[in-house]
Amino acid sequence: MEQAHEKGAPPAPAALARRNPVVVAYDWVYRVRGKQALGLAFLLGLLANLAFPPIWIWPALAAALCGLVWLLDGARATPRRGRAAFWRSFAFGFGYFLGGLHWIAAAFVVDASAHLALIWMPLVVLPGGLALIFALVMRLGYRFWNAGPARLVIFAIFFTLAEWIRGALFGLGGLPWNLPGMVWEPGGAVSQSASIWGIYGLSLLTVIALAAPAAVFDSRPRGSLPSRVAPVLVAAIVFGAIWGWGARRLADIPDGTETISARLVDAGVPQSEKFEAGTAELLIQRFRALSGPDDGSSPPIVIWPEGALPYYLFEWPEALDAVADRIGDRRLIIGVARRQFDEAGEASAYNSLAVLTGASALNGPLYVYDKHMLVPFGEFMPFGGVLEAIGLETLQNLSPGGWDAGPPPATVSIAGMPAFAPLICYEAIFPGLAPAGLDRPSWLVNISNDSWFGAFLGPYQHAAQARYRTIEEGLPMARVAVGGTTGMIDAYGRWTAKGQSPDPDIYGPDPRGWEARIVDAQIPQSAPPTPYSRYRDGIFWLMFLSMGLAFLVLPRR
């Protein structure tokens, strides 16, 4: 049982006698102990998720971060302060990641007979593992905790470090989902700063700014009001400057010149129906109809989503003939599954993007990109030998043993279309994955399959992540997502066009109640190379190390 105060621990604020409601709240948070403290930390973690898309209530993250700072203040007044800080951080992290990633569980009910028994993995193991990383890092930072405003620097440094670690996650691909900087809607003024320091730099500044109000009320027995509100004022000035710079950047966008257009096509088939009898032929017919004829009435580039035809298309000649015949002289960017056999007959299976034309039925694809960043447990099994021994398989149907990974994305240069860089689904959540420098493309193509996650938060958040990649790189993006948002995004994170329901008089009705989306859109002009595209996370690490150095020279008392 935690005691009220440890000998030598900082007292609660003397201003409590004034009964200011915020001071009363601080006093309660500071004094809460045991299971109540853990429950409060968990609820604060859940609360933080209201700040992320599609809700965008960023003050919710401010309230959650201030509450966590105050809980860590209170941990100093317990007999085992380090242990209390660890478990409070863990409880916050569990709520934070459960609330932000619970939608992954929807993928386990698509084929309930095969995967429902494993639904505890996204609801317990995933948030628990990420919370453990967060708690360990915060516990390390807690060694430097103090009662003054310098603890905000400690908090921001180690909070962001924990986020970076789970984004890298030991070479397994990581999960940089809902980073704190994502609370600023992409395409807005504040989000433009990601073109300088990326989403991690924006996250670092966001954490310290939104946690700044915690310094107004803390456990210091003394401290003038100006000294207590100084962190809030500094945060307001910094983000005011960021907003002003971003607004100016958006206002100075030059008028675009005429560019080539593309048709983005999603047939809208639910994931649960893709492998039902008769769906394959029906799906090909629907994509053919939505793509339009090759007679100049539709754009010269057509894009279908990830897993558009969830079969081995290059091993099904009749289907490949039907697709190629419809495309004609146009260029089709399509998500396909493919296999490659070695001399011994062993197959390697890939989740791929291919560029096809009318001659591809005879000559093969113009280009193939094999997905580089695979989804752990969804597309490959980490520690596969151990997990497969206990009966665990990946969620996708075509290659139960998992996909093989290809090389990193490279710029695709093909006659008849601007050079582009491919990003398949999950790859769009990783900053810095797109090629840059001399290999910099003119635009990005993100094909995705969000139908695994129904109408939950995941598809909205996935689209927002993709929009941040356009800001960081200064490149427009065509995004085609089954069950998600399909549309064209400019180099500043703004939608220029979104997929709409096709006219049934032109394209026919959706079969089986599918919800198709199509749109013809001009590919926007790219922006000049951004600082982030040149230096990647170098600016973020410079900020991170500078903030750490500032902590060393700031007074800690």
Nearest to 328 by CA among 285, 387, 284, 288: 288
Structure tokens, 299: 């754009």
Angle at 237 between CA 232 and CA 243, to 5 degrees: 120
Environment class of residue 214 by beta-carbon count within 10 Å: exposed (0-12), middle (13-18) or buried (19+)?
A: buried
DSSP per residue, 384-401: HHHHHHTT---S-SS-TT
* Higher local confidence (pLDDT), 400 or 489: 489
Cα–Cα–Cα angle for 102, 141, 4, rounded to 5 degrees: 85
User: Residue 222 has what pLDDT?
Assistant: 57
Is-contact 393 368, C-beta < 8 A? no
pLDDT, tens digit (0-9, with 9 covering 90-100), for 106-131: 888 877 777 788 888 889 999 999 99
Q: 3-12 pLDDT, tens per residue?
A: 444 444 454 4
Six token digits for residue 79: 């007999």
Q: How far is it, in rounded angstroms, from Cα 48 to Cα 45? A: 5
CA distance 276 to 253: 48
In whole angstroms, give the CA distance from residue 323 to residue 166.
41
Q: Give the orientation angle of helix 126-142 with respect to helix 81-101, to 10 degrees.
A: 140
Q: Tell me which amino acid residue 267 is.
A: A
Residue 391 is predicted with a pLDDT of: 55
3-state secondary structure of 484: coil
pLDDT (0 to 100) of residue 171: 53
What percentage of the chain carries pLDDT values higher than 70? 89
| Predicted pLDDT at 2 | 46
Average pLDDT on 153-174 reads 87
Tokens of 419: 């050079």
Q: How does residue 27 score in pLDDT terms, banded at 50, 70 and 90?
A: confident
Strand segments, DSSP code E, in 61-204 are none
CB 157, CB 124: distance < 8 Å: no
* Nearest in space to 42 (alpha carbons), one of 176, 134, 120: 134
Task: Work out the angle between the directed axes of helices 126-142 and 59-75 (0-180°, nearest 10).
Answer: 60
Q: Return the minimum-mean-pLDDT range out of 82-96, 255-269, 424-438.
A: 255-269
DSSP helix/strand/coil, 523: coil
- For CA atoms 51, 57, 61, 64, the dihedral sign is negative
Q: What is the pLDDT of residues 303-324, one digit of tens each?
A: 999 989 888 999 999 999 999 9
Listed in sequence order, the residues at least 6 apart from 532 whose beta carbon sits closer than 8 Å to its beta carbon are: 194, 195, 196, 197, 198, 431, 432, 472, 473, 539
pLDDT at 397 over 80: no
- Give the DSSP H or E segment for 357: none
Confidence check: pLDDT of 298 > 50? yes
DSSP-assigned letters across all residues of 421-456 = EEEEGGGGGSTT-S--GGG--SEEEEEEE-GGGTTS
- Separation between Cα atoms, residue 192 and residue 203, nearest integer Å: 13
Specify the CATH number of the domain 261-526.
3.60.110.10
Domain residue ranges in the chain: 14-252+537-553, 261-526
CA-CA-CA-CA torsion for 305, 308, 312, 315, nearest 10 degrees?
A: -100
Average pLDDT of span 102-108: 86
Give the per-residue pLDDT at 313.
95
What residues are annotated to the active site? 306, 371, 425
Q: pLDDT class for 70, splitting at 50, 70, 90?
A: very high
What's CA 449's distance to the chain center, in Å?
14
Quick one: tokens of 432? 């810095």
Residue 554 in this model has a pLDDT that exceeds 90: no
What pLDDT does 461 receive? Answer: 96
Residue 393 confidence (pLDDT):
63
Phi-psi region of 244 (alpha: psi -120 to 50; beta: other; left: phi over 0): alpha
Within 8 A by CB and 6+ apart from 118, the residues are 108, 392
Tokens 């021994």, residue located: 389
Q: Tokens 């400019």 correspond to what residue?
A: 490
What is the chain's mean pLDDT, rounded? 90
> Any residues with CB less than 8 A from the CB of 254 and at least 6 apart, and which?
525
Residue 410 has pLDDT above 80, yes or no: yes
Beta bridge partners of 448: 481
